[in-house]
Amino acid sequence: MLEIKNLHANVDGNEILRGINLTIKPGEVHAIMGPNGSGKSTLSYVLAGKDDYEITEGEILFKGENLLEMSPDERAAAGVFLAFQYPIEIPGVATMTFLRTAMNAQRKARGEAELNTPDFMKIVKQKASELKVSPEMLKRPLNVGFSGGEKKRNEIMQMALLEPSLCVLDETDSGLDIDALRVVSDGVNALRSPERSMLVITHYQRLLDHIIPDVVHVMSAGKIVKSGGKELALELEENGYADYVNAA
Amino acid sequence: MPAVQETIEQVKEIDVDKYKYGFVTDIEMELAPKGLSEDIVRFISAKKEEPEWMLEWRLDAYRRWRTMEEPTWARVDYPKIDFEDLYYYAAPKSSPGPKSLDEVDPELLETYKKLGIPLNEQAVLAGVEGARVAVDAVFDSVSVVTTFKDELAKSGVIFCSISEAVREHPELVKKYLGSVVPSTDNFYATLNAAVFSDGSFVYIPKGVRCPMELSTYFRINEEKTGQFERTLIIAEEGSYVSYLEGCTAPMRDENQLHAAVVELVTLDDAEIKYSTVQNWYPGDAEGKGGIYNFVTKRGDCRGKNSKISWTQVETGSAITWKYPSCILRGENSRGEFYSIAISNGKQQVDSGTKMIHLGKNSSSRIISKGISAGRSQNTYRGLVSAHRKAAGARNFTQCDSLLIGDQCGAHTVPYIESKNSTAVFEHEATTSKISDDQMFYCQQRGMSDEEAIALIVNGFVRDVIQQLPMEFMAETQKLIGISLEGSVG
Amino acid sequence: MTAQPQKIQTQGETALLQQLAVLDLDPTRQAAADRLKLNGLPHRRVEEWKYTDLRALLKDVPQLSKAKRTAASSVAKPLIPADFVLTVVDGIPQEISAAGTTASAEAKKAVSIEIGLGDASGFHEKANTNVDLNMALASSGFIVRFSKSATPPVVFIDHIVSDADAVTAACRHSVVVEKGAQAVLVERFSGPDDTAYVASAGLSVIVEDGAKLTHARVVTEGIQSSHLGTIGARIGSEAVYEPFVMTLGSHLVRTDVQITFDGERSHLGIRGATLVKGKDHTDMTLEVDHASPNCTSIEQFKSVIADEAKAVFQGKIMVKQIAQKTDAKMMSQGLLLSENGEFLNKPELEIFADDVICGHGATCGDIDEDMLFYLLSRGIPRPIAETMMVQAFVAEAIEDTEQPAIIEALEAILADWLAKR
């Protein structure tokens, strides 16, 4: 599904990613943990194609294709979804309008017919209720005035609607209380399937109690310094990142 | 709202003797004949023993000035100035030029002592352990003394009067004088170029962080005398200087004219922090007397990553017409303007800044706090512009006005001009009064009205006070109190 | 600052003064003409015209149209469903035809419409060149009075320039919303792209005590035209005035809006959107005079600038000493879509009363990169995403309009402009 080879990336001349190697097979859920500033969020933005990042070395293959040559919207249409750590507020754009535009744009890019209004409404209502997103929220401008929990539920609802093949979750647990964390995790788990891979980026182990990963990676100073099974997350929770920071 | 009512009444009662710098120094002066002519320009230049090129520069400006008209766009109202009824040169007979400290007329030393200006190099500012400040003291048209010159020279810093710089460092003066504020810039700047009398010159060499605060203290003493000082500060690559300017004048019934020019130049990675505490005599409660302060201050961030920061506390003058500006020419250069302008009595303030973005990724920040009391008019006038090539320019402006009493006015006139789509400008302005709720809360905690207003006003201007050099913060807070005398205890 | 008499007349000035000289003017028009003669057209050194140099921009003032008043032959589709559709051709108001009236009996009772030159009492007393131009040039217009009715009647005035030669089309309407009455007024201005005609559009509005007027002015003139618009409104006590000015750029559009609060506890909500492209030059100059206590006002303007176009916003909120408890908030925002556009913004506060809450905000910049990336990351292609962003930017001003039909009409104009860009 995803193959990252020796990826180096700069922001404003500072090297943030210093040789990432990562392979995710279809159906796998990988977690990346690491201290603040280790480059976790940068990796998620690079995957989604934000243009503040300069790729100096390495490559990313997504379903065998060169991801780095694609624009952000092409990547989305190809099946890459980023759940933002800080979802962007866009005043004046109704959430519903946004969802419809995004879904139809992706369908069009893939050569599929656009959804008609009743079908669209039906599918949105269903996914919204699963993620406890109220109809009133859908009418409001995108993310404007949403609480932290509402924003994150909105992200996962979008993920459910857009049905990507690679889900990148950037600190999806940040700012969530226990109940919201459960709703969001259930939403994510419902999307697990043999065809869909996930990359879960988090600082804390608690999210991984709910979304059980197949592989856990530790990232420090722009590199993956250790990989292991889900028990690695518990070990980190116990001992902190100090050993890895020093090692890097 | 009893508190506010009382304030209004107290402001009405404001008396001239609240201005504590209003005394006159009795000292024998040498004056040029009244009025302005080529001869007067020659007289001033000769008095300063200037080279020919300097005289020519002055004469060019003088001739041009004769063709110019006084600007009328500012929101200030005053009777027409008779430029022929002024003295353009006045110097204490005993001190026609700067001397060493021992040679300075004791009467002058006494004057500065009364003003609280430490001219004695051993003296330290009250309450601040070990803080040393080098001072250039300008009395009417001449610099009477510059302290710590030798010590500064050890780090290569030149700090002297501009007259001395014209004689001793002509290559620097020739290169930079008029390069930021051309002699043709505006009516008052052109007048200044023709007749400027004294002021300070600062040169910070490459890579030097100036070892102490530099300061110029301006005093207008003589009657019917215009003060036209000129200051030039050059910060070479990678250097830094913090400079403070203070001004006072005696209480006189006539208006006195002050038309200064300040030019700042920063080269690559250099920084100048320029602070002003302007406390010219504001006139009495009826608007009689006071200084007309028509000043052109401009900094040129010529080098990349260079920075100029203006901080001003404006409490004095009958009329203030002043827009310290930054030309942000260098890539990544930065301009800042922090201002407190307090007007009381019948004072008129029209002040603000210009941030002219020419360089890529240049940024600027404007924080302006205007406080109007009495029957004063207080206007913020500012320009923020991004030129075609100023990609990535950023500006944030916050202009807040506070009104005390309903006889005064607070006005905001920003010009925001963007010619580059990647420039991002944000501007916010608010006008309000001290809320009754805030007053009540303070009173309930046992404060008098005046204490409460002082507290709230000091809170209102806090963002700007914090930008002042530490040595002057406390002094400024006190000054704000005095300026709002009648409103604040 | 007063303009000095100009020694050298521009072609525009000459054409203007020659025309005025041969007209038989009543004293009011003559007074305006005299002021124009004395001052000439304003240039950039006149503060109010700093960004719009009329001497340079108004190259010619063609002959006033000689069109006759006729019964409106065809009625264009009104912008919103209206009880009365009025037509002005080349500045001449057309007879009110039956075809243009679909009004209910109730609406007919509540609205009186006459053709003529009503008074201009809605404007400020201070002389203003744009107002003077209209005062001197306009010889007629509609005089509309609204009296109390259960539902607000809707009047639509369509201004068309039809002449094949460049003309000057000038008219001034006078609208009074009587005590306790409510009304909706929509004006539209349009004309051909192939002539450099001049439109001078005046409107004097009186909103009496307890009355409410919702008003939209849509300026969609031909690309070579110069549109000089004025709106002068006075608001009584406990009254509400809600205007929206939508401006699509042309060679020159300058709109002067002057609003005065004459009574207490009233509200003004004025909003606007300006869309410019090519080499358009538009200027919205607004002066709100809080001359009475306890009034509130909201001023919200959006400018979208493409290509090499220039948009100017000058907004002044004046709070008189008597106008205690004023609450006024102004916001002017510019969105620059191209490297060579210009946004010139001057929001002003002039405050003489202390117990007030006044503020203004101003922003400008291009489309927010983070927002755009969010849309792209959801698979929305860049052109669509940019269009969404522009729509969202303008929608903030449009969506607060109370009449859904007006919102719909304005959104359609915006979508059309974006599609053609």
DSSP code per residue over A191-238: T-BTTBEEEEEESSSHHHHHS--SEEEEEETTEEEEEE-THHHHHHHH
Residue pair B395/B428 in contact (Cβ under 8 Å)? The answer is no
Q: Which amino acid is at B66?
A: R
ipTM: 0.86
Q: What is the mean pLDDT of chain C?
A: 92
Q: How confident is the model at residue B124 (pLDDT cuts 50, 70, 90)?
A: very low
**pLDDT tens figures, C219-244:** 999 999 999 999 999 999 999 999 99
Task: Give the pLDDT confidence score for residue C73 in this predicted structure.
Answer: 57
Which helix (H) or strand (E) element contains residue B52? helix B52-66
- Are residues C350 and B409, on separate chains, in Cβ contact within 8 Å? yes
Is the pair C, A in contact (3+ CB pairs within 8 Å)? yes
**What is the DSSP secondary structure assignment for residue B406, as one 8-state letter?**
S
Task: Give the pLDDT confidence score for residue C6 in this predicted structure.
Answer: 47
State how far the Cα of C276 lies from the Cα of B350, in Å rounded to an integer: 34
Task: Give the pLDDT confidence score for residue A237 in this predicted structure.
Answer: 80
Shortest CA gap C293–chain B (Å) = 13
Residue pair B469/B488 in contact (Cβ under 8 Å)? The answer is no
Encoded tokens for A175: 């700012």
Residue pair A160/A187 in contact (Cβ under 8 Å)? The answer is yes
Q: How far is CA B296 from the centre of its chain?
A: 9
In chain A, residues 88-147 whose CB comes closer than 8 Å to chain C: 88, 90-93, 97-98, 101-102, 105-106, 109, 141
Residue pair C398/C411 in contact (Cβ under 8 Å)? The answer is yes
State how far the Cα of B294 lies from the Cα of C35, in Å rounded to an integer: 34
State how far the Cα of B340 lies from the Cα of B465, in Å rounded to an integer: 8
Q: Which of A90, A108, A124, A166 to mutate to test the interface with C (most CBs of C within 10 A)?
A: A90
- Are residues C378 and A91, on separate chains, in Cβ contact within 8 Å? no
The span from the first CA to the last CA of chain B, in angstroms, equals 19
- Are residues B415 and C345, on separate chains, in Cβ contact within 8 Å? yes
Task: Quickly list H helices, C44-191.
Answer: 54-57, 105-110, 129-137
Encoded tokens for B172: 């620097």
**pLDDT tens figures, C75-99:** 678 899 999 999 999 999 998 865 5
The span from the first CA to the last CA of chain A, in angstroms, equals 28
Which residues, 6+ apart, have CB-to-CB distance to C27 below 8 Å? none
Shortest CA gap C256–chain B (Å) = 18
State how far the Cα of A194 lies from the Cα of C176, in Å rounded to an integer: 71
Neighbours of B (≥3 Cβ pairs closer than 8 A)?
C
- Average pLDDT on C136-156 reads 95
Which helix (H) or strand (E) element contains residue C13? helix C11-22
Task: Give the pLDDT confidence score for residue B129 in this predicted structure.
Answer: 41
pLDDT at B127 over 50: no
Backbone angles phi, psi at C418, to 5 degrees: -65, -40
CB-CB: which of B409, B429, B433 is closest to C359? B429
Q: How confident is the model at residue B264 (pLDDT cuts 50, 70, 90)?
A: very high
User: With an 8 Å Cβ cutoff, is C376 touching chain A?
Assistant: yes
Shortest CA gap C283–chain B (Å) = 13
Encoded tokens for A233: 């997350």
Using CA coordinates, name the residue in chain C closest to B73.
Answer: C1
Reference B427, options B435, B440, B417, B441; nearest CA is B417
User: Could you give the percent of chain B with pLDDT greater than 70?
Assistant: 84
Shortest CA gap A102–chain C (Å) = 5
Task: Give the pLDDT confidence score for residue C257 in this predicted structure.
Answer: 98
Residue pair A41/A85 in contact (Cβ under 8 Å)? The answer is yes
Encoded tokens for B333: 């250069």
- Are residues B412 and C349, on separate chains, in Cβ contact within 8 Å? yes
The span from the first CA to the last CA of chain C, in angstroms, equals 39
Shortest CA gap C279–chain B (Å) = 14
- Average pLDDT on B425-437 reads 87
State how far the Cα of C230 lies from the Cα of C219, in Å rounded to an integer: 12
CATH no. of A2-247? 3.40.50.300
User: With an 8 Å Cβ cutoff, is C391 touching chain A?
Assistant: yes
User: Could you give the percent of chain A with pLDDT greater than 70?
Assistant: 98
State how far the Cα of C62 lies from the Cα of C75, in Å rounded to an integer: 26
SS (H, E, C) C401-421: CCCHHHHHHHHHHHHHHHHHC
| Domain assignments of chain A as residue spans, ordered by start | 2-247
CB-CB: which of C375, C378, C392 is closest to A92? C392
State how far the Cα of B230 lies from the Cα of B263, in Å rounded to an integer: 8
Backbone angles phi, psi at C359, to 5 degrees: -160, 160
Encoded tokens for B396: 């944030």
**pLDDT tens figures, C96-124:** 865 556 778 888 899 999 999 999 999 99
Residue pair B203/B270 in contact (Cβ under 8 Å)? The answer is no
Partners of residue C371 in chain A, C-beta under 8 Å: 88, 90
- Are residues B425 and C364, on separate chains, in Cβ contact within 8 Å? yes
Encoded tokens for A79: 């099946």
Is the pair B, A in contact (3+ CB pairs within 8 Å)? no
> Residues of C32-53 as b/e, b for ≥16 C-beta within 10 angstroms?
bbebbeebbbbbeebebbbbbb
- Average pLDDT on C155-184 reads 94
Q: What is the mean pLDDT of chain B?
A: 83
Angle at B262 between CA B256 and CA B263, to 5 degrees: 160
In chain B, residues 387-406 whose CB comes closer than 8 Å to chain C: 388, 401, 403-406
Reference B244, options B268, B210, B205; nearest CA is B210
Neighbours of C (≥3 Cβ pairs closer than 8 A)?
A, B
**What is the DSSP secondary structure assignment for residue B180, as one 8-state letter?**
S
**pLDDT tens figures, B141-163:** 677 677 788 888 899 999 998 98
**pLDDT tens figures, A111-129:** 888 888 888 999 999 989 8
- Are residues A102 and C392, on separate chains, in Cβ contact within 8 Å? no
The overall longest dimension of chain B from CA atoms, in Å, is 69
pLDDT at B16 over 50: no
Full-model pTM: 0.85
Q: Taking the CB of residue A71, how many other CB atoms lie within 10 A of it?
A: 13
Q: Which of A84, A86, A93 to mutate to test the interface with C (most CBs of C within 10 A)?
A: A93
Q: Taking the CB of residue B127, how many other CB atoms lie within 10 A of it?
A: 9
Task: Give the pLDDT confidence score for residue C227 in this predicted structure.
Answer: 98
Residue pair B397/B384 in contact (Cβ under 8 Å)? The answer is yes
Residue pair B252/B225 in contact (Cβ under 8 Å)? The answer is no
- Are residues C342 and B419, on separate chains, in Cβ contact within 8 Å? yes
Residue pair C38/C20 in contact (Cβ under 8 Å)? The answer is no
Shortest CA gap C241–chain A (Å) = 24
pLDDT at C168 over 80: yes
- Are residues C361 and B428, on separate chains, in Cβ contact within 8 Å? yes
Shortest CA gap C17–chain A (Å) = 47
**pLDDT tens figures, A147-197:** 888 899 899 999 999 999 999 999 988 888 888 888 889 989 999 999 999
State how far the Cα of B160 lies from the Cα of C65, in Å rounded to an integer: 72
Partners of residue C49 in chain B, C-beta under 8 Å: none
Task: Quickly list H helices, B90-226.
Answer: 106-114, 149-154, 162-168, 170-176, 187-195
